[in-house]
Structure 1
Amino acid sequence: MLQSRLQDAHLHLQSPRLMANSDTIVKQAQEIGVKQMVVNGTSPDDWDEVSELAHRYPEIITPSFGLHPWRTPDVRDGWKEILIEKIDSHHNSCIGECGLDRWMTGLCKQAQEDAFIFQLQLASESNLPISIHILKAWGWLLETLEKTPTPPRGFLLHSFSGSAEVAKQLAKRGAYFSFSGYFLRQRKMRVQETFRSLPRERILIETDAPHMNPPTKWICHPLANQANHPANLGAIFAGFAEMMGENKERLAEQLELNFQRFFKE
């Protein structure tokens, strides 16, 4: 496995499935070459944990605070003010996970859209990195982007599963696209083809831990509760390089440049 400077562009270390063992998990990730990880909150219920992790591991964790579309039905009044406070409490805050979802049933379309537009506008006003979740809602996303400004630095489509044609439209708007190890599965050939078509300077890589487990072949750090581990990023990267037909060293350098340009500059 390549010992390199790897960056996990999206995960949920604050999840109860990982948080209790975070010291060991972070150490194991660092040992395989993970130098940076972006920990994404999903609602006010976990933003404090994200903040705690960022303070505990400032050298490796970038905090991101957002309202996930799945959490819109039960969010409390005042969440927007709390979100702003959380973002302001860290010098390197990002926004997300937020977005639009037509896969999960029982979600209010208007509530999702209102929450997403608020977060997108917030990111745009301060030029903050934003991590966006989209499931079966690509047309809806494109319609929303027509009427809503985006950050000058661009925006990240995490675990991107859209078509090559959608990707082309989004790339013109400044999108970055993050590859999840889940898409190394044989039945995800269409997603793999899409990533091979993307501009190399717009690609990132992620685990989405504890979710989106890669195929067994690319799991090098199994957990007892079957949670995905951020230390799997090394194996996922190796599988991604093989899938892309790219030299590992050059690809690692490109991914690091992309990560620094989007999240750090």
Structure 2
Amino acid sequence: MTLYDSHNHLQRFADPAKIIAEMRAAGVAGCVVNGTGEDDWETVARLTETFPDFVQPAFGLHPWKAHLRSGNWLALLENFLDRFPNASIGECGLDGWVSSPSLEVQREVFLPQLARARERSLPVTIHALKAWEPLFAAFDQEKPPENFLLHSFGGSPELVKRLADLGAWFSFSGYFLQPRKAKVVEAFKAVPQDRLLVETDAPDMMPPEEFITHPTAEGNHPANLTRIARALAERLETGEENLVALTAENHRRFFNSDR
């Protein structure tokens, strides 16, 4: 089994080396660690340098931190992208669930990140929550790169179609295994097979208790991915080995990874 966690925040764990060892033991062969702002980009960089065979970095300014940016944030982001040629851009996006910062302030940092991803031909990982029409409006203003990922996608089958037509990829997280989120699983049945990824968003997006194989006081352990993938395979009515092989290949293609 060769699974890839296509989106997590390993930088938020106290002992990443221990977490990675447990991920490897569970069959996870690598992950993309997403930075969320100027306060954690260097930590992501150090993880990448310490575990180059396991961690692939992504550097982005999260919509929740848009109002905290410095005047030099974009130049700093570009420095990290220059420093790590295998990096992607993310996590960035739009969030209508929070009242502050406003969508307008979020858009001020999201659009330049879309532009840099397109100009550099880099994949971009997008956070979109209760902001679908603003997201499409942003795409009208700043075209996304060829590869863009809706991480922990929680939309409808109709949104899958609209986004897939623009080139979107979609990753599934264990949080949506909750019975009350069954409609999201239905949406993933509409995702093109060659655009499907799996993730944990660890330490966030905790799956239901029965899918937690690695309990930890720090939240969602990324080694839970193995059980999450098995549960998704069951719901998509495909074999676990097939889903693992499919998402591994998709991960490598999306992130231009040679692992």
TM-score normalised over the length of structure 2: 0.97
- CA drift of 1:5 comes to 0.4
For residues 134 and 19 of structure 2, the distance between their equivalents in structure 1, rounded to whole angstroms, comes to 37
- The equivalent position to 2:189 in structure 1, one of 191, 196, 199, is 196
For residues 128 and 103 of structure 2, the distance between their equivalents in structure 1, rounded to whole angstroms, comes to 13
Give the alignment of 1:17-56 within 5 angstroms. Answer: 18=13, 20-56=14-50
Per-residue CA deviations over 1:89-143 (Å, capped at 9, x if unaligned) read 1121110100001101122222211210100110001111111000100111111
Give the alignment of 1:9-158 within 5 angstroms. Answer: 9-15=6-12, 18=13, 20-152=14-146, 154-158=147-151
For residues 121 and 28 of structure 1, the distance between their equivalents in structure 2, rounded to whole angstroms, comes to 37
Specify the alignment match of 1:5 in structure 2: 2
Specify the alignment match of 1:218 in structure 2: 211
- CA drift of 1:46 comes to 0.3
For residues 35 and 191 of structure 2, the distance between their equivalents in structure 1, rounded to whole angstroms, comes to 27
Q: Percent identity?
A: 44
For residues 45 and 97 of structure 1, the distance between their equivalents in structure 2, rounded to whole angstroms, comes to 13
Specify the alignment match of 1:208 in structure 2: 201
For residues 11 and 86 of structure 2, the distance between their equivalents in structure 1, rounded to whole angstroms, comes to 17
- The equivalent position to 2:180 in structure 1, one of 179, 183, 187, is 187
After TM superposition, where is structure 1 displaced by more than 2 Å over at least 4 residues in a row? none
For residues 67 and 110 of structure 2, the distance between their equivalents in structure 1, rounded to whole angstroms, comes to 13
- CA drift of 1:224 comes to 2.4
Q: Work out whether 1:258 is the aligned partner of 2:235.
A: no
For residues 44 and 123 of structure 1, the distance between their equivalents in structure 2, rounded to whole angstroms, comes to 18
For residues 57 and 222 of structure 1, the distance between their equivalents in structure 2, rounded to whole angstroms, comes to 23
Query: Which residue identity is paired with 1:220?
Result: T
- The equivalent position to 1:160 in structure 2, one of 147, 153, 166, is 153
Q: Work out whether 1:169 is the aligned partner of 2:162.
A: yes
Specify the alignment match of 2:228 in structure 1: 236
- Number of equivalenced pairs: 257
Superposed CA RMSD = 0.9
For residues 146 and 247 of structure 1, the distance between their equivalents in structure 2, rounded to whole angstroms, comes to 38
* 8 A contact 2:60–2:90 mirrored in 1: yes
For residues 217 and 202 of structure 2, the distance between their equivalents in structure 1, rounded to whole angstroms, comes to 14
- CA drift of 1:261 comes to 1.0
Could you say what secondary structure the match of 1:8 adopts?
strand
Could you say what secondary structure the match of 2:53 adopts?
coil
Query: Which residue identity is paired with 1:9?
Result: S
Query: Which residue identity is paired with 2:126?
Result: I
Query: Which residue identity is paired with 1:186?
Result: P
Query: Which residue identity is paired with 2:3?
Result: L
For residues 190 and 149 of structure 2, the distance between their equivalents in structure 1, rounded to whole angstroms, comes to 17
- CA drift of 1:252 comes to 1.2
- CA drift of 1:32 comes to 1.0
- CA drift of 1:12 comes to 0.2
